[in-house]
Amino acid sequence: MADSSRRWFDRALVQLTLVRLREVWREPEAIFWIFLFPVLMAGGLGLAFRSRPAGITKVAVLAGSPWSAQTARRLEADSLLEVQVLDDSASARALRTGRVAIVLLPDSGSVGYRFDDTRPEGLTARSRVDDALQRSAGRTDALGVSEEIVRERGSRYIDFVVPGLLGMNLLGSGVWGLGFAVVDARRKRLLKRLIATPMPKWAYLSSFVISRLALLVLEAGLLLVFAALVFGVPLRGSLTSLALICLLSSLAFGGLGLLIAARPRTIEGASGLMNLALVPMWVFSGVFFSSSRFPEAVQPFVQALPLTAVNDALRANMLEGATLAQVAPELAIIAAWLVGTFVIALRIFRWQ
């Protein structure tokens, strides 16, 4: 065969894959959205929702009587309370805008608490202030207690959100990366030009799969290394299993991208379909908050979405150290999407 004597570099599959990688690599926006955006997102969310001990509680005492100064002095003995004496209108404004969590009012020999019980800091403030006042008034605790403080890695918000971001990123780069490239080539009639050559069609489609996998190593690796080093996000499961979950997910999302790109002739047409596929998953699939928050009635739909299965599998692996066997139901859902989307996409694919 003439083929066997050719250098590997001259083979259609190698050339097509190189073209795919060059097209991504030479597009600065693609680099940003695929590689840097998830890292920035993880960084931002990690900072915004970092776990810390509940901080200083801010308290206002209504001004205008000797009681005010006396009460303020008693409270200041507690280092976790920050006390200011304010008049009626100033205290009301401070409470309304959240600058204080509670206002103390004199109430003929006793004390009145004014706070918003729908705000977590309101309830915390009430019990802290009450403790401080009761103790200074001579209350003794009936039961002795000791405290053991545990701050568990894996239960923080950043630990929850990093697997979600990874899943969302695999979805986005699969659907956008594959979908736009195919539709663009069809729009430019490059697809038609390619099938006018003896190029094997399987080689064209395989080049997308191979380049996706090459990029996957970088995009997943970068996000996970960042999350582990900067935020100490745990990787409790085996890394091989994690890699396999990412691989299967990436292929399934690539199939979804191929299905979306199978027929549209314009970028606009494809964008509409992509939004139709992506937006429900961003909302329902538990990227930023648990998908179990949705009502029972929609759970069958939520659980059938590929991103839900991917996020659940990633979290089970990273946070709970689950084995592949333990995430088999999720893997089955992902595999079903992989097979289903590829079969339909190849059947309806429009080359011209």
Positions in the binding site for another protein (CB under 8 A): 2-3, 10-12, 14-16, 18-19, 22-23, 26-27, 185, 188-190, 192-193, 195-199, 352
Kindly tell me which of 96 and 350 has the beta carbon lying closer to another protein.
350
- Tell the burial category of 346 from Cβ atoms under 10 Å away from its Cβ (0-12, 13-18, 19+): middle
Least distance CB 11 / another protein (angstroms): 6
Return the bridge partners of 112, or none. 105
The string of DSSP letters for 82-102 reads EEEEE-HHHHHHHHHTTS-SE
Query: Residue 275: which residues within 8 A CB-CB, separation 6 or more?
Result: none
Kindly tell me which of 11 and 93 has the beta carbon lying closer to another protein.
11
Kindly tell me which of 270 and 281 has the beta carbon lying closer to another protein.
270
Least distance CB 40 / another protein (angstroms): 25
- Tell the burial category of 20 from Cβ atoms under 10 Å away from its Cβ (0-12, 13-18, 19+): buried
Kindly tell me which of 16 and 274 has the beta carbon lying closer to another protein.
16
How many CB atoms lie under 10 A from the CB of residue 291?
Answer: 20
Least distance CB 29 / another protein (angstroms): 12
Q: CA 59: distance to chain centroid?
A: 35
Longest dimension (CA), the chain: 104
Cα within 13 Å of Cα(316), Cβ side: 19
Kindly tell me which of 24 and 230 has the beta carbon lying closer to another protein.
24
How many CB atoms lie under 10 A from the CB of residue 83?
Answer: 20
Least distance CB 21 / another protein (angstroms): 11
Q: Rounded distance, CA 180 to CA 186, Å?
A: 10
Kindly tell me which of 3 and 148 has the beta carbon lying closer to another protein.
3
Least distance CB 308 / another protein (angstroms): 35
Least distance CB 270 / another protein (angstroms): 17
Beta strands in the chain (DSSP E): 57-62, 81-86, 102-107, 110-114
Kindly tell me which of 11 and 139 has the beta carbon lying closer to another protein.
11
Least distance CB 186 / another protein (angstroms): 11
Query: Residue 291 corresponds to which tokens in the numbers above?
Result: 């998908």
